[in-house]
Amino acid sequence: MDAYPEPTLADDEAQLAAFAEQLIEQINTSINGWVTRSVLAAASAGGVAVVEDDLAVVIEQTRAAAMPELRRVVRADVDTGAGSPLAALRNAVGPMTDHLDRWGAARPLRDEFLERQFPGDPYRLGPAAFSDVDEDLHEPGLVWGAARAHVHLRRRRKSDRG
């Protein structure tokens, strides 16, 4: 008898759910810093100064835009093809964009690819990787993605066997 029995599919699914909740919480916590850094950098590059008190509204609007979709995607069953948590964050840059436009920040030049792929992100605020939001999200993002892939593959193996 094994001292450490192999985890069941249900065990792996429970672990994935735990990783999902950790990722959601860490992203929610990281939104303040991401929005602040992104808006201040874009405003500076666009030739305007931002009063940091104005950022509280932008942060909460971005959180409200991002978190419902992020929760849906990260908590979705692996077989649903629910999307990407990074896409949920990229799609939530509207409040930052609106405020930068209102403050009169100049929009940076973008190539055809960026124009076509990210039409709603003229300031290039959307993250390409978890670490663009917060360095501390790199590992939990990878762990969640690996756990998701593992559960998906394990289900495929199970269904292939009968």
Q: What is the pLDDT of residues 87-145, one digit of tens each?
A: 999 999 999 999 999 999 999 999 999 999 999 999 999 999 999 999 999 999 999 99
Instruction: Look at residue 2 and tell me if it is in a domain.
Output: no
Instruction: Look at residue 23 and tell me if it is in a domain.
Output: yes
Instruction: Look at residue 85 and tell me if it is in a domain.
Output: yes
Cα–Cα dist 154/162, whole Å:
13
pLDDT for position 51: 72
Domain hosting 121: range is 9-161
Instruction: Look at residue 62 and tell me if it is in a domain.
Output: yes
Instruction: Look at residue 105 and tell me if it is in a domain.
Output: yes
Span 43-96, pLDDT tens digits: 999 999 877 778 999 999 999 999 999 999 999 999 987 889 999 999 999 999
Instruction: Look at residue 4 and tell me if it is in a domain.
Output: no
Report how many domains make up the chain: 1
For residue 162, pLDDT beyond 60? no
Q: With contact defined as beta carbons under 8 Å apart, do 40 and 32 qualify?
A: no
Helices (H) and strands (E) in the chain — how many of each? 7, 0
Instruction: Look at residue 81 and tell me if it is in a domain.
Output: yes
Using CA of residue 93, residue 94, residue 97, residue 99, what is the dihedral sign?
Answer: negative
